[in-house]
A and B are shown apart, each in its own frame.
Chain A
């Protein structure tokens, strides 16, 4: 079973719409959850982190975490063409004790925002 799963997309939304990106993870003791944005040929750029159940908002971005369902999502409001990128879900999983921060990534969801 894959540890972190994302729908690879592509997800296409019109400019101004809400883009909804989803991620599920398999390890119940996962502690920390991150969304990174990756433009083609570039490195992952951290856009959101979330550690407890519920919603966390930062500007146009909202991360949602439901540990019971092992589900984390990212909403992008008022999507812009510049938001077109691959969005990576990353999870810090504790296996067998202390984790020094190893992140396990999903395969990413390609988002296209068209004018």
Chain B
């Protein structure tokens, strides 16, 4: 069964450093998302990406964050200068064409645990 994959599974970085989190969405999906979950808190939407551009973003997704789809398979989240409060699990999700079977359903990757020291 197709699945979303993410690398690395765990990233430790120093405050102020740049990190890039990588995701490979399900191959025929068209909509891509990043969510984060701070330990013990709810899952929060960061950004959605469709047709090679950001379609929605939350207040959390400030100028320190950026997303990119550098090729036909990868989808990345970059944090330019990490802060302690960026420590969280980051989940990538993807969704297929709206009118396809299950086209409204988002499937999540296993996540990257980001620890900022």
Contacts and interface: CB of A to CB of B under 8 A. Distances in A.
Given A44-B43, A44-B91, A103 B55 contact: no
B105 A46 contact: yes
Nearest to A108: B42
A51 B103 CA distance: 12
B88 to A, nearest CB: 13
Interface residues of B, number: 25
A103 B106 contact: yes
Interface string B30-62: 010101000001111100101000011010000
B107 A103 contact: no
A4 B113 CA distance: 25
A106 B31 CA distance: 22
A69 interface: no
Contacts of B110: 42-43
B44 A105 contact: yes
Interface stretch (A9-17, A76-84, A94-102): A94-102
Interface in B77-108: 89, 91, 95, 102, 104-108
7 contacts: A44-B91, A46-B106, A51-B104, A88-B42, A92-B104, A105-B42, A107-B41
The 9 closest A-B pairs by CB, nearest first: A100-B55, A105-B43, A43-B108, A100-B48, A107-B42, A43-B111, A102-B45, A44-B108, A105-B42
